[in-house]
Amino acid sequence: MTKKDKELKELLDIEVNSRNCVLELSYEKPDPLMVAKRQNDEFAILLCALFAYGNAKLIVKFLDSLNFLLLNESEIKIEEELKNHYYRFQNSADVIAVFKTFRRLKQENSLEELFFEGYKNENSVLEGIDFVIQKIKQKANYSSQGFDFLVGNPLKRDKNGRIKDSNAPYKRWNMFLRWMVRKDSLDLGLWQKIDKKDLILPLDTHTFKVSQKLGLLKNRTYNLKSALEISEKLKEFDIKDPIKYDFAIYRLGQEKLI
């Protein structure tokens, strides 16, 4: 490791340790994770992650308005309770459709088992994400611009079937995995079957810019390739838990400290 990398690791380790506390999640410093932490249902937690785009305060406000217990209720009750719920690109039909779909999936299998089905062959979280998205699409039997934006589309592949690194970073899915796989004062650690060393950084505009400024990223395009490049670089700092740095890097950008 170069002298510059050692200094950067020290800086980031300090940030990680100081931010690894519940005080980082509050209505003064809103984050969808604060709503996710109140759930004990992996499908409800995934909803918190998928709706986590846009202004953090508005995300938390919308998530607070949702009754996640509807995932255990009838489809008629879901329709009744959510008929006036909408969020940015999702109208009420989209919100109802995703709740109904997750309810159906939940009745058949655990989300961890579904994810593991795709992940297990190559220990690839991308294969896991792709597998679950395809399951959601099959079970939904519903498509709209808002719904497809919310859950994502199956990842694009090359002619040999390999996932292309020119895909979008799938930030919200990778954030959900960080929550579920890692365990500390912030992350939930509810899943046991996925190794945290395989996680990919949930790349958003804050972490993208900060990573470039810190020298963690050379690629200039906001895509999956950048998320993979930063994740590999962070393995030099902690090979077993590289994505522990994500929240600290994100906050450094959000709070305009770098």
- Enter the tokens of residue 105: 């999936």
d(CA 58, CA 87): 9
Residue 257 pLDDT: 79
Percentage above 70 pLDDT, the chain: 100
Amino acid making up residue 102 = F
Residue 1 pLDDT: 84
What DSSP element (H or E) covers 31? none
Planar angle of CA 240, 242, 246, nearest 5 degrees: 150
pLDDT tens-digit map of 180-215: 999 999 999 999 999 999 999 999 988 999 999 999
* Predicted TM-score (pTM) of this structure: 0.96
124 burial type by CB count under 10 A (0-12 exposed, 13-18 middle, 19+ buried): middle
Residue 225 pLDDT: 98
d(CA 224, CA 235): 17
Q: Which domain holds residue 79?
A: 3-254
**Of 101, 110, 86, whose CA–CA distance to 143 is shortest?**
101
Any bridge partners for residue 188, and if so which? 183
Residue 203 pLDDT: 97
Length of the chain as a residue count: 258
Amino acid making up residue 161 = G
Residue 255 pLDDT: 85
Residue 256 pLDDT: 79
Domains contained in the chain, number = 1
Residue ranges for the chain with pLDDT beneath 50: none
Q: Which residues of 203-214 are buried (b: 16+ CB within 10 A; e: fewer)?
A: bbebbbbbbeeb
